[in-house]
Amino acid sequence: MHRSAPRLTRILACAAVPVMLVAAGCSSDDSGSDASASPSASAAGGASAAPATSAAPAPSVAPAKFAKLPDACKSITAKTVEDLVPEVKKKAGTPGKSSDLNDRGNCSWNGLEDKGVKGSDYRWLDVSLLRFDSDQTLGTGEKRAQDKYVSKVAEVKATEGATDVVTSSVPGVGNEARAISYSMKKTGETFRYGVIAVRTENVVVTVSYNGTGYAGAKAPAAGELMEGTVKAVKDAVAAVAAANK
């Protein structure tokens, strides 16, 4: 009996070893699972703690220099109208239709001077004003006006039926200016045109001056017409500046 007791003790002790190893193995697996989950939790916590980054605001565009337009029918002085349009029908001018006079305006004058046996002289004077505001999407008022100025010059040069088209720069008027002169046959007579497009900051000014002779009177010379156009457009550009003082 004394021999079998120690032997039994040894058998029981050996039998207990696998149980402990299994338990240790389970404990190791659980610990490893917790350890692998721990970094994820830490990373999630770190991500939520990091400050949120906001998108940089879009750069703002510079405000337009001119905030309003003058009355188009007063943008050319009465003296200039009298000089360029003899026997003018309506001295105050005929305003064009506009849904917003702060952004666009137009006015025209015409007259027919009867010289008896020497015939008659017809003259037409027209001024157009376009103002552009700065826009976050479309760009600055100056850039928008510049685009319009370029397209306006191209439009006048491409006038249907125009002949003898000549273009030239107009120094000293606005930021940039272009003169276009041409002839056109209408109602059996030759009309001569002088057109000047000007950009002054965020405003585009266009003056058109044309005329012809009837019943034996000669059509005006291109140079004469352009001199009158320059005079009128200088009035209009000055009026834009004066309206914004």
Q: What is the pLDDT of residues 159-189, one digit of tens each?
A: 999 999 999 999 999 999 999 999 999 988 9
Cα dihedral value 136, 142, 145, 150, nearest 10: -120
Q: Are residues 20 and 94 in the same domain?
A: no
- pTM comes to 0.76
Q: Give residue 4's pLDDT.
A: 47
Residues with pLDDT less than 50, the chain:
1-9, 11-48
Q: Are residues 12 and 122 in the same domain?
A: no
Q: Are residues 87 and 182 in the same domain?
A: yes
Q: Give residue 178's pLDDT.
A: 98
Q: Give residue 98's pLDDT.
A: 85
Q: Give residue 24's pLDDT.
A: 42
48 in a domain, yes or no?
A: no
List the Cα angle 222/149/103 in 5-degree steps. Answer: 110
145 in a domain, yes or no?
A: yes
- The CATH number of the domain holding residue 170 is 3.40.1000
Structurally, the chain folds into a number of domains equal to: 2
What would the pLDDT profile of 48-82 be if each residue is shown by its tens digit?
455 555 666 667 889 999 999 999 999 999 999 99
Q: Are residues 32 and 77 in the same domain?
A: no
56 in a domain, yes or no?
A: no
List the Cα angle 89/92/97 in 5-degree steps. Answer: 100
101 in a domain, yes or no?
A: yes
In a 3-state reduction of DSSP, which class is residue 208?
strand
In a 3-state reduction of DSSP, which class is residue 94?
strand
